[in-house]
Structures are given as C-alpha cells and as structure tokens.
Structure 1
Amino acid sequence: MNRIKGSSPGVPSWDERYRESVYVYGEEANLFIQEASQFIASKSKVAAYAEGEGRNAVFLAGIGHEVVAYDYSQEGLRKTEALAAKNGVQVQTKQVDLIEEDLPIEQYDAAVMVFGHFPRINQYQVLNKIILSLKPGGCFLMEVYEEEQINCNSGGPKDVSWLYSATEMLKWSKQYRLKHFFTGEVERTEGLYHSGGCYVLQVVVEKLA
C-alpha cells in the first residue's frame, strides 16, 4: 500500500483512508478533549492539528470557539467541512504538512492534537512548532498513544518508534506550565480503528507569558 509522508506504518495514505463514506474515527470528539476543554477560555481562537475528519474541531466550534483545522489530507479536510455543515458550525480548514511546513507564530489562544503520530525524530519538532503557534498564555491539549500501546490491539502505529515516551514527554512538558499529565490505560470507542482499551499520554500545558 502507498503511504504519504507522515503516515504511520501499515496505514494506507490518509486520503485513501478518509475517502471512505463513513467517518472512520467517528463523529464524536475525543473524550479527553471533551473533558479537558474546560482549560480553554471561552470564545478562544483554537487550532486543531492533525485533525483528520474534524470531530474535535467541530466539537470545539460547537461550544463557541473560532476553530481552524489543520491536516495533511485534503480528503480529511473535505470531511471536516461536511461535518461542520452537518452540525451547523463554522470551521476553517488548512492543508499542511506538520513536519515540513511552518505554522503561524503566536496566532492561537489554544491548540489541540489527538493521535497525531510522527517518526520519533520529528515528534518534538512538531510539538515545538505547535507551541510557537500559541500566544503567550495559550494552552495546548493533547492525547496520543504511549509506547506501551504497542502491546494493545486497539489502534495506533504498529512501530514503537512512532509512539511517544512518557518520560520524554514529561521532560518536554516541564518547559511550560504543566496543567495536566496522565499516562495509563483508558477505554476509547472511536469509529472503525480506535476501539477498546489503550495506553495513552494526556498533556495540557500553558505557554509561558
């Protein structure tokens, strides 16, 4: 199978995956994003990175934020726009390669990323660009798979080098104001490819003013 740059191992191109008529990761926002959205000030300008088919962006727009969804896949962005229309909200979409391209500087009050996985050599390169896109005092919310997910069959990359180390993530997070940090097992039921018990990392950090 062909893989686009940025695809996790064993996954077809994201355009190919998102071309399916169903929302392959579901239409409901990630549970952590729903719960942790309290960290985002009301009526914020929010970036949703590696957003896929738009479920988190649409949720955030639905609770009153101005949202821009970024993804590599044009098919994912097309479905994001369709899901936003279905739910009667506005979400701006932008196609971007988070590894290769720059992001806006100090433009957003908050950012989210759910299961945005990259080769280990690029992980913190991407995270640092996301932090740079935040205004001082802005917050970043993230849920990704930890290395222990390699032993689970509930989704995510099948190469441990595409998963995140809790130790390294904690070290990175301490550069900022750490509001929430969790690693452990949770249940996720998200469409066709994320289902069952999984091992995640959750992070909420605030960029220092």
Structure 2
Amino acid sequence: MRPDKRQAVLRGALRVFARDGYSRASVDAIAKESEVSTRTLYNHFADKADLFRQVIQASAGEAARDQIAIIERHFHKVTDLQEDLTAFGRAMSAQQGHAEHFALVRQINAELTHIPAEAIEAWQETGPRKVRRELASRLEALGFRDPRRAAVHLMVLTMTGDPSISGSRPDDEDIAAGVRVLLHGHDVEDNRRRKDARARR
C-alpha cells in the first residue's frame, strides 16, 4: 500500500473509531470511509484489532508530538514557578486540534474492557506515557523530588474541568489554583532552598 493511501486509511479508520467506538465500528464502514475495498484492508491489516492498534498509535504519536512541543516551549526558561507553570497549564488546556484523537480516547475509556490489551499498551506508550516522561524530566530539573507523580498531578490539576460536565476545561483561575496546590503539595520551594544550601557548602 502506498504511503499516501495508508495515511488515508488510517485517517478514515480514526474517524470511524472516534465516532462509533471499537466494538461498533465495522471493517466495511472503515473501508467505505477510507474509499478502499475491504479486501484491500485485509491485505494490509491482519484484522480490526490490528488496524485499531495502528490507528491509535499513529494518532497518539501526533498528539504527543504537539504536547511535547508545548512542554519544550514553556520549560525552556523557567524564572517564576507559579507564573510559568500556570502559563504552561493554560497552553496545554487551550491546545487546539486532534479532536478526533481525543474523541477516540473517550471511546476507549467508555469500553476499556472490550479493547485488545495490545492496543491500550500501544496508545499509552506512544502518547500519554511519553508526554509524562518528558514533563517529569523537566519537573525534576526544577527541584521536584517525585517528578513522575508531580507530572501526573500537574496534568490533572491544570487540564481537568468540572467532573460533572463531560469535556469541560478549567478556566484560568482554576489552572492558577491547581499550580498553587501542586507547589504546596510537593514543597518545591523548600526543596530548592535545601538544594541551594547544600550546593553552597
């Protein structure tokens, strides 16, 4: 399959999986959306599970690339933890694009037990874990003693809106408050002062 045709199939399959979920999506619907025959699909993908794994892996990789770009931009030079982490949280919360990917993620969460474990692992490793590892490495450099957990907390505190409203996002005040909770809970300023004191000895 030509690279351009393969990309068309992956995009078509993403639209169908994001709309219908894994269980309800059919290979026939995916073939129609991608403008190829079902025979062509089966010639290049072992089955629906294989296609889904490759779709979520490709989609998660693209979303992760853009999120890591935001991390790199905002952690390039941090001078004020509260202010700079708040700006980062706002940028992550306000990011545009990848609507179909995040619709697919919602579908995954809704039918987690029906999706092949290999697909879940591919998604997590290519997307969320990769982003968290990058964020954790930046937080470690800023003095967080448990950067892996801090990365999770930062994402939750600045990207999660009202849990009673599906798909809601936090406002600027919520994000700023989330950063204050993060810094207080992880004692970052105290950690940095102790580190500086040890360095002066």
Give the TM-score taking structure 1 as reference length: 0.26
In proportion to residue count, which structure has more helix?
2
The structure with the greater share of residues assigned to strand is 1
